[in-house]
Amino acid sequence: MRLTVIGTGYVGAVHAACLAELGHEVLGVDLDTERIAALAAGRPPFYEPGLGAMLRRTVDAGRLRFSGSLAEAAGFADTHFVCVGTPQLPDSGAADLRHVESAVTGLTAPLHRTPYDHVLIVGKSTVPVGTADRLARDLPAHAEIAWNPEFLREGCAVRDTLCPERIVAGVSSAWAEARLRQVYATLLEAGAPFIGTDPATAELVKLASNSFLATKVSFINAMSEICDATGADVLTLAAAMGADPRIGPRFLAPGLGFGGSCLPKDIRAFAARAEALGLGKSVAFLREVDEINTRQRRRTVEFARRLAGGTFTERHIAILGAAFKPDSDDIRDSAALAVAETIRRLGARVRVHDPEAVDNARAAHPALQYALDVAKACEQADVVLHLTEWPQYRELDPVALASVVRVPALLDTRHTLDTRAWRAAGWTVRAPGRPRLD
């Protein structure tokens, strides 16, 4: 099949490459000429394991190319995936739909001259419920809109696309469903579940799923606060809860909370849309979920202050992690960088290390200091904060690292380090929600 992907940011670039990997002929469209040039050369503009090799393979095979023209897209295929961003509006929690509206509007005009009798526009962007129905009103008679939400996790997006847990298709006609089944035929033959529904339900699936996952994260972090007050152990609590199959262990990982480009903005947008519908009370709990998540950052700063002797003035603080999650260079709404900036403003000298996100972090937070190796980041540190759970940090030698810091004090907010080994090496270790063992 011939397909277009409009918007080649994180979702669009991955989706375009994976569609080409499945054997389709794909045209990626974006107004950012530098991004288009990089992608056409097989260079993804962000770090995502496996994506670079797939881009080069599909571009070299001639199944994937890129353009800056929506008119070219309209003449290239009869099925168009819209993968542009929906950031949070600066003055509210609502989603900014300007990019989605611009993509659909920009495609509509040349659709009047398209050689195809029937055209399908497929939204993958995360949008408030009702967006598809509103956009459909201005489409030409031979075009219709469907919604096919993405469920990608940064760091394993290629695998999530090629081995999906489900494919949700919100359609208004049997033709549209058949078309999407044809797009994903290889995945369906491999056993991927296909859930056909209406566009409104498909829009809700993504927001409801992210809201539920965010609630699980904030719930266990709220329990971590209770554990700190009572001497209980949040890791044992989470394991015991997760052993119940009705609850499950996933997303019951206590720590610094969630960040990134999806969960924070999605729960705020969902709450804003519910309020616009007069149903704010139905999802009022999401405001508390958001507050609990934000509170973890403040709690982390306070834990670090105590480890630093009650003040950050004249203290050197080492930060391990800048990306919002491992296997990504994405720093959008990074809890790690939010903590680092707060500590810097409180008087500390802060040096940050991250395996992939240093360049992005430096561009966004130039007042922080950065190091390309962990030992340099920790040199003469009074406290080391473990804020992003990169697997490389689990391999650190606490004995060797103790020789470069000024004070061997560690705050493990992600609960992934072997704290017994660090304590045995002479470190004072704190982990929120866990009893003090030293």
Catalytic residues: 262
* CA pair distance 417, 396, nearest whole angstrom: 9
Q: Cβ–Cβ contacts within 10 Å for residue 68, how many?
A: 15
* CA pair distance 93, 106, nearest whole angstrom: 26
- Candidates 114, 116, 5; CA nearest to 65 is 5
* CA pair distance 33, 222, nearest whole angstrom: 45
Q: What tokens appear for 348 in the block?
A: 């500390």
Q: What tokens appear for 290 in the block?
A: 């958001």
* CA pair distance 389, 397, nearest whole angstrom: 16
Question: Could you give the C-alpha distances from 336 to 93, 322, 359, in angstroms and in order?
Answer: 22, 5, 15
* 3-class secondary structure, 196: strand
- Cα-Cα-Cα-Cα dihedral of 107, 111, 113, 119, to 10°? 150
Query: Parallel, antiparallel, or unpaired: how do β-strands 2-6 and 79-82 relate?
Result: parallel
| CB contact set of 409 (below 8 Å; sequence gap of 6+) | 307, 308, 382, 383, 384, 427, 428, 429, 430
* 3-class secondary structure, 263: helix
Q: What tokens appear for 430 in the block?
A: 């704190």
Q: What tokens appear for 145 in the block?
A: 């809109």
What share of residues in the chain are helix, strand, coil (percent, to 5)? 45, 15, 40
Dump the DSSP string for 27-47: EEE-S-HHHHHHHHTT--SS-
- Candidates 25, 30, 31, 24; CA nearest to 6 is 30
- Candidates 283, 295, 153; CA nearest to 225 is 295
Q: What tokens appear for 321 in the block?
A: 């992690």
Amino acid at 407: V
Q: Cβ–Cβ contacts within 10 Å for residue 332, how many?
A: 19
| CB contact set of 229 (below 8 Å; sequence gap of 6+) | none
* 3-class secondary structure, 394: helix
